[in-house]
Amino acid sequence: MRQQARFTAVLCDLDGTLIDSRDDIAAAFQWAMRLVVGKAPPASLIVPHIGKPLEQMAREVGYALSPPQLHTFLETYRQHYAQYCARFTRPYPQVEATLRRLSQVPIGIVTTKLQEQADMVIQQLALTAWFRHVQGWQPGLRLKPAPDMLLMALAALHCPPEQALMVGDTPADILAGKAAGVTTCAVTYGYGHIDELRRCAPEYVIDTFAALQAVVLSGP
């Protein structure tokens, strides 16, 4: 018997939820920072901040860049990442198999990446076919934890917030979901800390992406 979906649409964060992109993001961050200030932090300091705006990431790992430095840093990062965005990046285990099992449900991506970056990465990883909508950052949109990007994605999927699920690995994902009025699901295998995620009170917590199937589908 065909399982019934509990939600009309599912929204997923990208980095740390669908794909493990830490090595490529850290490498681009380090490349750009070396060019701007002559040194770069270790990847272990960068990874916990993935998913935040690049300016915030730089500040939180200890670099107070001037406006000209910040401009150069952002441009250099984007150029390097565009060239090497999928060098080491891979989908997490069971992502493609789970997306296949959930294919009856419209699935969208909501990510802080620039729109062109998000489109480029999922295309290079051959994931495009699984998603009805990809919502990257565009000028004028507030980033997560504001609800703007989620609401735009829901509008594109013709889904009211109360019928949607947001899946993510950081507090910003969960808080954005709550601000948008959707049900939330935290994943523990990404870049966020489990204690911080639990403090955001997600309705669901899963340890593998494969476990999302039981959250979304009901029935035998």
Rounded to an integer, the average pLDDT of 56-69 is 95
Distance set, CA 139 to CA 57, 136, 142, 149, 218 (Å): 19, 10, 8, 11, 38
Q: What distance in Å separates the CA atoms of residue 120 and residue 122, rounded to the nearest whole number?
A: 6
More confident call, 220 vs 2: 2
Q: What distance in Å separates the CA atoms of residue 62 and residue 78, rounded to the nearest whole number?
A: 20
Which tens digit of pLDDT belongs to each residue from 143-181? 999 999 999 999 999 999 999 999 999 999 999 999 999
Q: What distance in Å separates the CA atoms of residue 29 and residue 26, rounded to the nearest whole number?
A: 5
The burial class, CB within 10 Å (0-12 / 13-18 / 19+), for 1 is exposed
pLDDT of residue 209: 98
Supply the pTM of this predicted model: 0.93
Q: What distance in Å separates the CA atoms of residue 9 and residue 22, rounded to the nearest whole number?
A: 27
Task: Identify the band that residue 51 occupies on the pLDDT scale cut at 50, 70 and 90.
Answer: confident
Short-list 41, 126, 29, CA closest to 79:
29
| Phi/psi at 114 (5° precision) | -55, 150
